[in-house]
Structure 1
Amino acid sequence: MRVPVKLLGFVFWLFSLNCARCQECRIADINYENTEPVAKELHDDGETVRLSCTTGFTGIYRLKCEKGQWKTSIERPCAKIKCSHPGDTPNGDFSLISGSEFVFGAKVLYTCKKGFEMTSRINQRTCRAQGWDNTLPICEAVRCPAIRTDEDVIASGNTEEGGYGDFIHFECVSNDKKTDGSSVIHCTETGEWSHPIPKCKEITCTAPDIPNGDAVEKMQEYQKDAILKYRCSPGFKPREGIRCAKFGWTLNPECDEVTCELKSTTFGVKKIYPEGKTIFRAGESVEITCTEKYWIFQTKETFNSFTCQENGQWDYEPVCAEIRCEVPHDQHVYNLYSYFWGDLKLGAKRSYYCMSGYDQMSAVATCTRDGWTPNPLCAEIRCEVPRGQHVYDLYSYFWGDLKLGAKRSYYCMYGYYQMSAVATCTRDGWTPNPLCQ
C-alpha cells in the first residue's frame, strides 16, 4: 500500500506546481511600443511591473499580474519628446528634412539667404532627448575683392570691401575717353564682381550695318563727334543728326520707312477709301469725301485724292475743313470789322455799308461756297461816256477814270447850248443834265 500512496502524493505535488504556474504572467504578453525591455520574463500573481519608455520618448505604464493576466493601473503611452523651436539664424532659413514636427528625431537643415554664405561647419540640428544638438549656424555676407583701377579710371562706391548687391561705377578721367567694358558692375552672390574692371580708351564708333541703307563714307571706325552720313533705298529715309558720342551713336542708324499719317479721319469726313487705314507708304493714295458743310482744306472741293510723297509728306493736306468765308478785304466795306467778325461759316449773314464812292449791292451779305454774295458787295460808282448828249469831239474830253466826282470840261455840237463849263460825275450820272441843250 505504500507505493500507491507515494505515487498519489507525487501527482498531487505536480498538480499544485502546475496550478501555481497558471497564476504567473509573461512579459512577452505585453505589447506596448517604445518601452524598455524587462529582464524578468515571468511574474507571480500579485506582482507589479513598471515599464519605462525608450530614449527619446516620455510616458509610463504600471501593470499588475492577476491570475495570469496583466491589469493596467497606470497608462501614459510613450510619445516622442518635443523640442522647442530650433532657432532662427540671421540672414538664413531652415526647413524640416526629417519628420513633420519638432519632436525627437526630427532634423532641420539651415541655408543662407542670397548674398550670404555659411561659415559654420555643421548646417543641421537634430532633436535629441535633451533638446536640439549643435549650435545655430552662422551666415555672413558675401564679400567681393577690393577694386583696383588704372590712373585713367575713377571708381565710385564701396571699392575696398564690396558686399553682395553693392554697385561700383566707373568713369574716365578724360572726357575724350570712354570705358572699355561695363561702366557699372555689382557684387554677385558668389563673391565675384559681375564684370571685369574696365579700362579707358579713345572714343570711337564702329561702322554700323544699316538695313536698307549704306554709309556715304565707308570707314571702319569714326572718331568722337563725327557725323554719320548715309543714304537709304527708295521708300526709306535716313535719320538726321547721328553723331559719334561717348556711349556710341546718338541715334540708332536706321533707314525708316517713308510713311504718311492720315490724322483727321472723322471731322467733316463723309467717306474715306481705303476705309480704316491711317498709315500710307510712299506712293500710296487715299480718297476723301467731305460732308456737305466741309471741303478739302484750302480748296473748294468736297472730294480729292491724296498721295504720300517720297519725303513723307502728303502732296496736299488731307483734311476736311469747315466751309468759311474770309473777312472781305478790298471789297470797300465801310468800317469792315464792325460787321464781319465772329463765326463766318457757311450760311452766315452780315449787314454792311459801303465806303464813299461805292454802291451797296445788297442789304445783307451771305457766306456761300463761292464766298460772299452779292459779289461784289460794293460796286464802284462810275459814269458812262455821255453818248447822245451832243458833246462835240466826245472822246477828247471823256476818257480815262470816270468815277464818282470826276470832272470834265467839254463843248457842245453846233446848234446846242453848253449848260456848264464843266461836267461832274455824280450818283445820278453827269451833271448838268443835259450837258447840251
Structure 2
Amino acid sequence: MTLLGCLFVLIGVICCSAAPASEAKPSTGSCKAPPRFPDKELLGEWNTEYYDPGKRAQYNCRPGFIRLGSIQFVCSEGQWIPVGTSGQCKKKSCGHPGDIDFGTFELKKEEEFVFGAIVEYTCNDGYQMISKHRTRECTATGWSNHQPECEVRYCPPVQVDSNVNLLSTSYEEEYSVGQVIRFECKNAKQKLIGVSEIFCTSEGEWNEFPPTCEEISCRPPVINNGKVNNPRSRYNDQETLDFSCNSGYKPSTSPQLTCTKNDWRPMPLCEEIVCYPEFTKNGKVEYTKETYKEGETVALKCDEGYQIEHKPEELRICTAHGWSPSLKCISKYFTHF
C-alpha cells in the first residue's frame, strides 16, 4: 500500500472514533442533569449530559439552612424523583435579635427570626440613634451588626439679649426633649416681642425663636364696627384712648382702653344692639321676630284693669339699653301715697 493510501485509511479511522457526544443516543429511561434548588446544593461531579436509570443524586443544604433527614433523588423513567420520605432544608434560626434601651424594632422581612430575616430599630421620641447601622440581618453565621444604641436628644443652648431674663429649671447647658424655657423682660417698662415660652421638640430643636424686649407701646387698634376717637400713631405704657361704635352697635366693654405690655386692655369690641321678646306681666306684646335691631318698635297692650306705666301713647323702641319706655303694666287702681 502506498503512503498516500495509508494516510486516507488512518484519517477515516480517527473520524469514525471521534464522533460528537451529541450524536450519542441516550438509553431508554435515562435522565438529564439533576435539578438545582435555591436551598440545596448537589454533591459530587455531574459532567455528563445523560444519566442511567437508577442513578442517585444526593444533596446537602446551603449555608443558612439546616438539613432535616437525608435528601436523595433517583433517576427513574427519565425523571428525578425523591427517594422515600426525602428530607428537607429549613431556614436556620438566629434567635431573638435583642431589645434596646429607649427604642424598639420591627421585623421587616420573614415572619420569624430565621435566615434572611431583617429587623429595623427605631428610637423612641426624644432619643436619637448613635449607631451607624439601624438594621440587623439573620445570616448563616448569626445576626449581622451590633445592637444599635439610642441616646437622649438635646436642644442647643438658648442665646438671648441682655435685657431678657431666661427662666429655666435646668442648671446645665443642655436641654432635654420636652423641657420648657420661659422669658420675661428685665425692665418692667418693656414688653416681650415674640413668644413668652419655648420647648425642646423631639427633633432636638426649639419650637420657636427666643423673644426680644422693647419699650411698651401700642398702635391704635382696628375695631370692627367702631373707631378710635382722636387717634394717635403711637401710645406709651398706661396711656389711654376712647373709642365709639357705629350706629346699631354698642361697646361690650368699657369704651376707654389702656396700653399695657399685653396690648390694649380691655380688648375693644363693638357688638350689635339687639332686643329680645320679653314676658310682660299683666300685658301682652305682639312680637313678630325673634330679635329686634336698634330703632325697631313693638306695641304694648295691657290686660283689663291695667295700664301702661310710662308714656302709654308711644311705641316701645329697641335701644342700646333695652326696650324704652319699659314694658310694664300697672293697675289702674294703684294709688301713690
Fold shared by both chains (TM-score > 0.5): yes
1:166 CA drift (Å): 1.2
1:300 CA drift (Å): 12
1:305-358 deviations in whole A, cap 9, x for unaligned? 53212x332203346x7x8xxxxxxxxxxxxxxxxxxxxxxxxxxxxxxxxxxx
TM-score after normalising by structure 2? 0.72
SS in 2 for 1:175: coil
The aligned residue for residue 274 of structure 1 is 288
The aligned residue for residue 307 of structure 1 is 317
1:104 aligns with 2:119: no
Equivalent position amino acid for 1:257 in 2: E
TM-score after normalising by structure 1? 0.57
Q: Gaps spanning 5+ residues in structure 1: where?
A: 1-20, 324-368, 376-437
How many angstroms apart in 2 are the aligned matches of 1:282 and 1:104?
83
Out of 88-97 and 247-256, give the one that drifted further: 88-97
1:183 CA drift (Å): 1.3
1:117 aligns with 2:128: yes
The aligned residue for residue 140 of structure 1 is 151
Alignment of 1:227-306 (within 5 A): 227-238=240-251, 239-240=253-254, 241-262=256-277, 264-265=278-279, 272-275=286-289, 277=290, 279-287=291-299, 305-306=315-316
1:56 CA drift (Å): 1.6
The aligned residue for residue 35 of structure 1 is 40
Equivalent position amino acid for 1:83 in 2: C
1:150-186 deviations in whole A, cap 9, x for unaligned? 4432211136211222110011223222122211111
The aligned residue for residue 15 of structure 2 is none
How many angstroms apart in 2 are the aligned matches of 1:203 and 1:99?
65
Equivalent position amino acid for 1:184 in 2: E
CA contact (8 A) 1:143 1:191 kept: yes
1:50-92 deviations in whole A, cap 9, x for unaligned? 4221122223434375988756245332222233333333333
Out of 93-102 and 219-228, give the one that drifted further: 93-102
CA contact (8 A) 1:185 1:194 kept: yes
How many angstroms apart in 2 are the aligned matches of 1:126 and 1:36?
23
Q: Gaps spanning 5+ residues in structure 2: where?
A: 1-26
CA contact (8 A) 1:112 1:118 kept: yes
How many angstroms apart in 2 are the aligned matches of 1:26 and 1:193?
73
Query: Rg bigger for which structure?
Result: 1
How many angstroms apart in 2 are the aligned matches of 1:44 and 1:227?
112
The aligned residue for residue 429 of structure 1 is none
Alignment of 1:300-379 (within 5 A): 305-309=315-319, 311-318=320-327, 370-371=332-333
The aligned residue for residue 54 of structure 1 is 62
Equivalent position amino acid for 2:287 in 1: Y
Greater relative contact order (Cα < 8 A, sep 6+): 2
The aligned residue for residue 383 of structure 1 is none
Equivalent position amino acid for 2:297 in 1: S
1:245 CA drift (Å): 1.5
Paired-residue identity, %: 31
In 2 relative to 1, CA 317–76 (structure 1 residues): closer, same or farther, beyond 3 Å?
farther
Equivalent position amino acid for 1:85 in 2: H
SS in 1 for 2:323: coil
1:255 CA drift (Å): 2.5
How many angstroms apart in 2 are the aligned matches of 1:71 and 1:109?
39
In 2 relative to 1, CA 139–318 (structure 1 residues): closer, same or farther, beyond 3 Å?
farther
1:10-38 deviations in whole A, cap 9, x for unaligned? xxxxxxxxxxx889x86834566521122
SS in 2 for 1:36: strand
In 2 relative to 1, CA 89–304 (structure 1 residues): closer, same or farther, beyond 3 Å?
farther
Equivalent position amino acid for 1:191 in 2: G
1:188 CA drift (Å): 2.4
CA contact (8 A) 2:103 2:121 kept: yes
CA contact (8 A) 1:274 1:287 kept: no
Equivalent position amino acid for 1:308 in 2: C
Alignment of 1:139-158 (within 5 A): 139-157=150-168, 158=170
Equivalent position amino acid for 1:274 in 2: T
